[in-house]
Amino acid sequence: MTGHHAWPHVFEPGSTDEPVLLLLHGTGGSEFDLLPLAARLAPQAGILSPRGPVQENGMNRWFRRIEEGVFDVDDVVRRAGELAAFLAWARETYGIDDRQVTAVGFSNGANIGLAAALLHPEALDGVVAFSGMYPLEGRTVNADLSATDVALFNGDADPMAPLASVEQLAAVLESRGARLTRSVRGGGHGVHSSDITGAASWLAERSRRVSS
């Protein structure tokens, strides 16, 4: 990638008094995948939706993995830094530096959003993670997350994001001061209607709290 302008992405300004949602698709998705979801979560919000820069068997991803469920953590760290730098570029380029930016990610996209928040808390104001897990196994997180809001939505029988890893993620987030909201439903990997309802309410409440 020669420059951030060359990173394929969608930007829609939305209402200037609403937050911007950084949409992070799952494995095999594209910058267009989560646009319908964003319309259900916060229809007036701005949209910044990039494409995952890593290829795995022709599928777009956000970082490499050694095998399913085993991440290349060095690559997670590198790609989280790239995403934070892209976001800094987008804030300046699109004039959104004074707006809240909340990552909304599914699966692989949730994991890179969480990694960016854990490693570069200045880049994001919040994260909504659907079917995410702890992305930094074996690493120590020292960042101050006291200004970061995180909402986790997981299934209790998700083989791709096991609850043990979600519990580890929650413990790390809380230990670093993040304001954490969790929802665990029955079922496996995916974004269920109850997740969407919960996330929409969380985003609306957070927007009211920030603007008050």
What is the per-residue pLDDT across 89-117, written as a single tens digit (0 to 9) for each? Answer: 999 999 999 999 999 999 999 999 999 99
Distance, in Å, from the CA atom of 178 to the CA atom of 175, rounded to the nearest integer, reads: 8
Is residue 107 part of the annotated active site? The answer reads yes
Q: Rounded to an integer, what distance in angstroms lies between the CA atom of residue 185 and that of residue 79?
A: 30
Neighbour tally for 212: CB within 10 Å: 5
Q: Cβ distance 118 to 143 under 8 Å?
A: yes
Task: Give pLDDT tens digits for 9-68.
Answer: 999 999 999 999 999 999 999 999 999 999 999 999 999 999 999 999 999 999 999 988
C-alpha to C-alpha distance for 134 and 103, rounded to whole angstroms: 16
The yes-or-no answer on residue 195 being catalytic is no
User: Average of pLDDT values for 57-81?
Assistant: 95
Note whether 113 and 129 are within 8 A (CB). Answer: yes
- pTM for this model (two decimals): 0.96
Do the bridges between strand 46-50 and strand 9-12 make them parallel or antiparallel, or are there none, so unpaired?
antiparallel
Q: In a 10 Å sphere around its CB, with 0-12 CB exposed, 13-18 middle and 19+ buried, how is residue 113 labelled?
A: buried
| Given 49, 107, 165, 207, the catalytic residue | 107
Q: Which of 158, 165, 195, 207 is catalytic?
A: 158
